[in-house]
Structure 1
Amino acid sequence: MTEASTALSADTTTIPDASAEASARPWLDASLPIEERVELLLAEMTLAEKAGLFFQTMITMGEDGELAEADPTFGLPSNREYVVDKRMTHFNLLGVAPTAGAIARWHNRLQELAASTRLGIPVTISTDPRHSFTENPGAAMLAGPFSQWPDSLGLAATRDAALVERFGDIARQEYTAVGIRVALHPQVDLATEPRWSRALQTFGEDAEVSGELGAAYIRGFQNGESFGPGAVSTMVKHFPGGGPQKDGEDPHFAYGREQVYPGDRFELHLKPFEAAFDAGVRQVMPYYGMPVGTEYEEVGFGFNKSVLTGLLRERYGFDGIVCTDWGLVNDAAIFGQPFPARAWGVEHLTPAERMIKILDAGADQFGGEACPELLLELVADGRVSEDRLDTSARRLLREKFALGLFEDRYVDAEAADAIVGSAQFRAEGDTAQRASITVLSNRAAAAAGETDAPVLPFARGVKLYVEGIASDVAAAYGEVVATPAEADIAVLRLQAPFEERATMFENFFHAGSLEFPDAVVAHVAEVAASVPTVVDVFLDRPAILGPIVESAHAVVGNWGASAAALLDVLSGVAPAQGRLPFDIPSSMAAVEASRPDVPFDTADPLFRFGHGLSL
């Protein structure tokens, strides 16, 4: 499908004639090798056009697929200012749209705007994960119109590389249908510090499993060995491994800036990345954290030449795109609160000096930044050479050519609604949800006095008391009653605990203690004293489950599953197949005594990695 025919099926605007463009712009000749096309285009670019390539930041869409005006809530300029004034061509789509067609129409309009610029360089749209149940604007989006799957920890709980690759393939089809061509994932960090808030998007605590599943994920998104116009480029993160956070705090925030390696396991955290390189990953994102007590410079990884050049470029020979994590250069405001740049170890440097250090380290793109004018000042002052710009510009342009964006930048907005969230894709997501649910304990309800059989699976048609489940969903499995005393069985859904922090943005990152509040433990015990009770916990972190296991008759873990998927497993409609992707610690004392860089290091865990009961 040509650019013009595709866009005209979606919109009524006029698209420039592609053949006329090709004669005036030789880089549009698809018969030429990509490297030659890159050089032809690069030779025509002004410094300002080159500088625009270096910035990838958040962008919003307008209502029903219109271009967006300036967004005061998020402090974002209009789409036009980004593309026309700042000459930027890489954007991370923020927010959840009501329909796939709306995203596709917006994408086409943004591409038309880019086509109207002097060289008509197409935009590249990226996204954080948006196929699960979680929404953290610093990490992931709700699924919205896309098919819904467990988070990566849940995929890891299935232990099924073929399923993970199939997820990647489905997500690839859904992304490309709306014009998203870069996945700011997978996240192959090892979740070795139980308190760390970013575990949910990892594949767990085991390096071998993380590498195997991360590679399958990449193959699915990148169309196997056929990377090209139908593929989504993946950006593996967070190199060289973001799990070993001091006290489990996250380096989005100054109190979490240090990564520590008391067990001397820095090399272990590289293993999943090695599998990603073998799978052909195209892009890499270094983490915010700064290594402490290692051979590497004690500055954030995005500034770290010993890591990005010495380790990534030279040791591993990686010549793809390196994009920093978001907001390393300039201070900003998030939800109205001041938010300093994550310039850990180089806080004393000016924004200009930070930019120079990032480029010198070996990065190609500034994530979450939109200040090409600052980069132009550095070139004008002689502090950054045009040759240095050209080195990264070649990589960034090469990816646009490889993705086929110069041949076919538009998408079919009508087809998008049929492809994204199709019945087949949703059914496969539902199957994955069921497969990930992990039964941790299942004992007899001795108080019932009639049977020694475990409480799971429960029989359909029983009297159900539920919390955290809509009554109309539960009604398909039994008679919903108002109190535990009336019920044959109770099902309670809980969130793994976390500590409340000072700001809204901090509270998107669940951190701190893993112990349930006394009131929650008491409530579970009270219900369980009245009726056989099943507790399902959303284990975005490995909670201290001992007190819950002691009182509840069955405990189940999930990493993103609908109530219907859960009840299908609890009632035996679907088999219990999930296996823990990490250890469940026995106490906070054991967590605090463990070494953040060492997997499976908490003493006497309550449940081991790989544990999971069948029903």
Structure 2
Amino acid sequence: MRPDPRVSTVDGVRFRDLTGTGRMVPYTDPRRPAEERTEDLLARMTLAEKAGLMFHTMMRAEPEGLYEPGPDCDDVPHDVLSTGRLVTEAHIRHFNAAPRIAPADYARWHNRLQDLAAESRLGIPVTLSSDPVHGFVDNPATSLATTTFSRWPEPLGLAAAGDPELVAEFADVVRREYLAVGIRMALGPQADLATEPRWSRGVGTFGADADLAATFVARYVRAMQGERLGPHSVACMTKHYPGAGPQLRGEDAHFPYGREQVYPGGNAEYHLRPFRAAFEAGTAAVMPYYAIPVGLGVPEVGFGFNREVITGRLRERDGFDGVVCSDWGLVTDVRVGGTRWPARCWGAEDLSRIERVHRIIDAGVDQLGGEFCPELVVELVEAGRLPEARIDDSVRRVLRQKFRLGLFDDPYVDPDEAERIVGNPAFSAAGAAAQRRAITVLDNGSTPVLPLREGCRLHVDGVDPAVAAEYATVVPGPEGAEVAVVRIAAPYERRDSGIDYESAFHQGRLDFPPDEVARLVARLRAVPTVLVVHLDRPAVLPELVAAAAATVGEFGATDAAVLDVLFGRSTPDGRLPAELPSSTAAVEASREDVPNDSADPLFPAGHGLRLPVHR
């Protein structure tokens, strides 16, 4: 890794000369505590520089160069969205940049970005963040599947495995891989509870049980950050306060039809338990969700605009003094490819952009996620609508974290080391083992068919025949098979309201249409069949379970992981982290904020069978 040309030595102390004066001023002195360095730097900053630190926007990493043209946004000139101008003119220093390129390329891109930041007047370094990238769900608005990082079951699968030590091992691997490429903040963990089975984001939670989720959230935060933030930490942004699970009818708040969050069971305190565990563990940041709270006893406006929730409850009642970052896109309508993505400003739709920014900051939010309009903050202060002391409060919290993470002293990473660490064989093997542990055997028939006999005549559907050939003799059709394995995804409804990422959210009913049920039942009865269902959300499966010889649920697993379990090479530990309902009517009659609340579930939470292992 190339040397940092800004490193100087004064009185035997190495420091980064970020002011370009050759002098070690207090904020560049690595011996001083973070609080003292923060106050010194804050006093040197212009209002525009402070405003830039209040934005945490999107960026795409490029293998070469830094210029990144952004989307065509209302009232914002297209060219201000280049990387260079975001850093040098808008003074923005926080970017959500998912690692979609090779690790070494990402590390080099990160280093170029830090070079650009270091050339500015005060040299304030960049903090890169990422949504989850270690699983199987590929949703541009929530989590991304990569081919370079180690691959683990989704958080719902870690809940199925039920082992806090496995969560800690997972988080430590995430930390080490993120550190290697320069990502210093994780946009997670998701401390929400999967109490509403129709909600599309339950797959990113640790299940429906608040106490289990609280334990897992705390272990995740401590493994990522350590007991306190330091140079070897990845900061956590725990989301989505005060718990985004109880969405009305399970609809997601990314969309206008999912604006309401409801509490028909009066269970709001239950949803707070994982967040309080995160606070106790020292989570660096918190993200509120988009939804409008209904029945919570606070104004019915989205959480990011809600002073009673952010200041009154999160800050004052729960005592959180870390960074509060809004969820992405509360202010600006965006147009991409001719499609308009409306700002998710539920309850504040009639406000102008500057009025939305005012209300968000007044609510107690420190950073605006997904936005890049710091000029509006400057305008609010200069017009006397916001005191600069209020801006200082937020900037102080943001700077303090950068100092504690060691970014001012050494922000660079080694591209060769990134290539060695990310997705290395040990990390990949650990993720693969976790996939197998999370698999949950739901039913094995009255005459058990599992584990399958190696070398049997096997027909597969939804499984790569080349992988299956490592276990059995693969035949082309069910007529020549002794047994079949069929992999399917849990059912969902496709929506089309003109928002292009909407199709990535698996929403709506949990059962298949009648004609699809009939087709699947016929397929399952053609030959004794093991049904494997990807449970990214609960599913209503009574007819399919009755027709299958055995039924297995997985929460993110390769074909090899599934077949290892089916053929007895690995032992599954999975227990359902939330119940599987028996009917859509039972789900519709349940309460969104109450866990495992449907009548007569097909399989209750905690259900899971054990299988013998072939030796």
- TM > 0.5 between the two? yes
1:31 deviates by 0.6
1:294 deviates by 2.3
Question: 1:511 maps to which residue?
Answer: 507
Question: 1:448 maps to which residue?
Answer: none
1:66 deviates by 3.2
1:462 deviates by 1.2
Task: Indicate yes or no: 2:462 matched with 1:468.
Answer: yes
User: Is the 2:575–2:608 Cα contact (8 Å) retained in structure 1?
Assistant: yes
Distance 1:213 1:253 in 2: 29
Distance 1:48 1:324 in 2: 20
Distance 2:488 2:214 in 1: 30
Question: 1:612 maps to which residue?
Answer: 608
Map of 1:531-542 to 2, 5 A cutoff? 531-542=527-538
Distance 1:6 1:118 in 2: 13
User: Is the 2:196–2:591 Cα contact (8 Å) retained in structure 1?
Assistant: yes
Task: Indicate yes or no: 2:128 matched with 1:128.
Answer: no
Question: 1:388 maps to which residue?
Answer: 390
Distance 1:140 1:73 in 2: 23
User: Is the 1:334–1:505 Cα contact (8 Å) retained in structure 2?
Assistant: no
**Other structure's SS at 2:286 match:** strand
Greater shift, 157-166 or 455-464, is seen at: 455-464
Task: Indicate yes or no: 2:420 matched with 1:424.
Answer: no
User: Is the 1:152–1:200 Cα contact (8 Å) retained in structure 2?
Assistant: yes
Distance 1:557 1:236 in 2: 27
Distance 1:265 1:2 in 2: 55
Greater shift, 433-442 or 488-497, is seen at: 488-497
Greater shift, 526-535 or 105-114, is seen at: 526-535
Amino acid in structure 1 at the alignment position of 2:227: E
Once the two structures are superposed, what CA deviation does each residue of 1:380-433 show, in whole Å capped at 9, x if it has no partner? 111111111100000000010010000111000111000010100000000100
Distance 2:25 2:67 in 1: 29
1:227 deviates by 2.5
TM-score w.r.t. structure 2 length?
Answer: 0.94
**Other structure's SS at 1:80 match:** helix
Question: 2:85 maps to which residue?
Answer: 81
Question: 2:182 maps to which residue?
Answer: 179
Greater shift, 603-612 or 25-34, is seen at: 25-34
1:225 deviates by 1.5
Distance 1:115 1:19 in 2: 9
Aligned CA distance change for structure 1 residues 112 and 130 (closer, same or farther; 3 Å)? same
RMSD of Structure 2 on Structure 1 (CA) = 1.9
Amino acid in structure 2 at the alignment position of 1:126: S
Q: 2:253 aligns with which of 251, 254, 264?
A: 251
Aligned CA distance change for structure 1 residues 341 and 210 (closer, same or farther; 3 Å)? same
Amino acid in structure 1 at the alignment position of 2:32: L
Map of 1:581-596 to 2, 5 A cutoff? 581-596=577-592
Once the two structures are superposed, what CA deviation does each residue of 1:144-201 show, in whole Å capped at 9, x if it has no partner? 2100001100010010000101100110000000000000000011111111111010
User: Is the 1:327–1:368 Cα contact (8 Å) retained in structure 2?
Assistant: yes
Question: 2:11 maps to which residue?
Answer: none
Q: 1:113 aligns with which of 107, 113, 116?
A: 116
1:530 deviates by 2.1
Question: 2:488 maps to which residue?
Answer: 494
User: Is the 2:19–2:121 Cα contact (8 Å) retained in structure 1?
Assistant: no
1:72 deviates by 5.2
**Other structure's SS at 1:584 match:** coil
Question: 1:447 maps to which residue?
Answer: none
Distance 1:87 1:608 in 2: 52
**Other structure's SS at 1:23 match:** coil
Aligned CA distance change for structure 1 residues 22 and 391 (closer, same or farther; 3 Å)? farther
Distance 1:143 1:332 in 2: 26
1:19 deviates by 10
Q: Mark the runs of 5 or more structure 2 residues left unpaired by the alignment.
A: 8-14
Task: Indicate yes or no: 2:147 matched with 1:144.
Answer: yes
Q: 1:378 aligns with which of 380, 390, 399?
A: 380
Distance 1:194 1:103 in 2: 37
User: Is the 1:2–1:407 Cα contact (8 Å) retained in structure 2?
Assistant: no
Question: 1:288 maps to which residue?
Answer: 290
Distance 1:226 1:382 in 2: 37
Amino acid in structure 1 at the alignment position of 2:347: G
Question: How many residues are paired up?
Answer: 597
Amino acid in structure 2 at the alignment position of 1:474: A
Task: Indicate yes or no: 2:282 matched with 1:260.
Answer: no
Once the two structures are superposed, what CA deviation does each residue of 1:217-274 show, in whole Å capped at 9, x if it has no partner? 111111x325200000001110000011111101111111011111111111111111
Aligned CA distance change for structure 1 residues 233 and 328 (closer, same or farther; 3 Å)? same
Amino acid in structure 2 at the alignment position of 1:51: A
1:558 deviates by 1.0
Distance 1:335 1:592 in 2: 37
Q: 2:243 aligns with which of 235, 241, 244?
A: 241
Once the two structures are superposed, what CA deviation does each residue of 1:519-560 show, in whole Å capped at 9, x if it has no partner? 432333222222110111111110101121011111111111
Task: Indicate yes or no: 2:66 matched with 1:67.
Answer: yes
Distance 1:501 1:583 in 2: 25
1:352 deviates by 1.0
User: Is the 1:433–1:561 Cα contact (8 Å) retained in structure 2?
Assistant: yes
Map of 1:230-379 to 2, 5 A cutoff? 230-334=232-336, 336-379=338-381
Distance 1:397 1:227 in 2: 13
Distance 2:188 2:72 in 1: 26
User: Is the 1:300–1:344 Cα contact (8 Å) retained in structure 2?
Assistant: yes
Task: Indicate yes or no: 2:511 matched with 1:522.
Answer: no
Amino acid in structure 2 at the alignment position of 1:110: L
Amino acid in structure 2 at the alignment position of 1:80: G
1:3 deviates by 5.9
User: Is the 1:249–1:512 Cα contact (8 Å) retained in structure 2?
Assistant: yes
Question: 1:41 maps to which residue?
Answer: 41
Question: 2:216 maps to which residue?
Answer: 213
**Other structure's SS at 2:23 match:** helix
Question: 1:199 maps to which residue?
Answer: 202
Task: Indicate yes or no: 2:477 matched with 1:483.
Answer: yes
1:42 deviates by 0.8
Distance 2:337 2:459 in 1: 38
Aligned CA distance change for structure 1 residues 144 and 335 (closer, same or farther; 3 Å)? farther
User: Is the 2:61–2:100 Cα contact (8 Å) retained in structure 1?
Assistant: no
User: Is the 2:16–2:408 Cα contact (8 Å) retained in structure 1?
Assistant: no
Distance 2:409 2:44 in 1: 19
Amino acid in structure 2 at the alignment position of 1:218: V
Aligned CA distance change for structure 1 residues 117 and 19 (closer, same or farther; 3 Å)? closer
1:336 deviates by 3.8
1:20 deviates by 6.3
Question: 2:12 maps to which residue?
Answer: none
**Other structure's SS at 2:487 match:** strand
Distance 2:49 2:556 in 1: 42
Amino acid in structure 2 at the alignment position of 1:233: A
Amino acid in structure 2 at the alignment position of 1:386: E
User: Is the 2:99–2:130 Cα contact (8 Å) retained in structure 1?
Assistant: no
Task: Indicate yes or no: 2:408 matched with 1:412.
Answer: no
Aligned CA distance change for structure 1 residues 411 and 73 (closer, same or farther; 3 Å)? farther
TM-score w.r.t. structure 1 length?
Answer: 0.94
User: Is the 1:154–1:560 Cα contact (8 Å) retained in structure 2?
Assistant: yes
Once the two structures are superposed, what CA deviation does each residue of 1:540-598 show, in whole Å capped at 9, x if it has no partner? 11010112101111111111111100000000000121010001001000000001111
Moved over 6 A (4+): 15-22, 73-76
Amino acid in structure 2 at the alignment position of 1:541: R
**Other structure's SS at 1:4 match:** coil
**Other structure's SS at 1:465 match:** strand
Aligned CA distance change for structure 1 residues 318 and 3 (closer, same or farther; 3 Å)? farther
1:96 deviates by 1.7
Question: 1:10 maps to which residue?
Answer: none
Distance 2:310 2:213 in 1: 22
Distance 1:541 1:257 in 2: 20
**Other structure's SS at 1:378 match:** helix
